[in-house]
Amino acid sequence: DGGITQSPKYLFRKEGQNVTLSCEQNLNHDAMYWYRQDPGQGLRLIYYSQIVNDFQKGDIAEGYSVSREKKESFPLTVTSAQKNPTAFYLCASSIDSIRPGSTDTQYFGPGTRLTVL
């Protein structure tokens, strides 16, 4: 059963705590992405990785950290430095990094809804 899995589905965090969101894919995709979505908003890119042991900041990387030690895994840590972390977090992957003219597409996991109490 191939796809992208994210866990947990719902996550509650107290202020000042770090939390780590899991993203795993068994599609053999090289590229993986983390997005944040706020109510009524589009997707904003947090971090992305085109290859193992390498990743780049997206548009809203402050207060977040990632690692890419394995091809199939791209965990996201929401640190206490993130001032407003309550949001819907989406992980995505694609065969290769998106390039102009590429026909690769991104596929999304089911998401993790994080709430800060």
Which residues of the shown chain bind other proteins in the complex (CB under 8 A)?
33, 35, 40-43, 45, 48, 50, 58, 90, 97-103, 105-111
CB of 49 to other proteins, least distance (A): 11
Between 17 and 102, CB nearer to other proteins: 102
CB of 57 to other proteins, least distance (A): 11
Between 80 and 108, CB nearer to other proteins: 108
DSSP 41-110: --EEEEEEEEETTEEEE-TT-TTEEE--SBTTB--EEE-TT-S---EEEEEEEESS---TT-----EE--
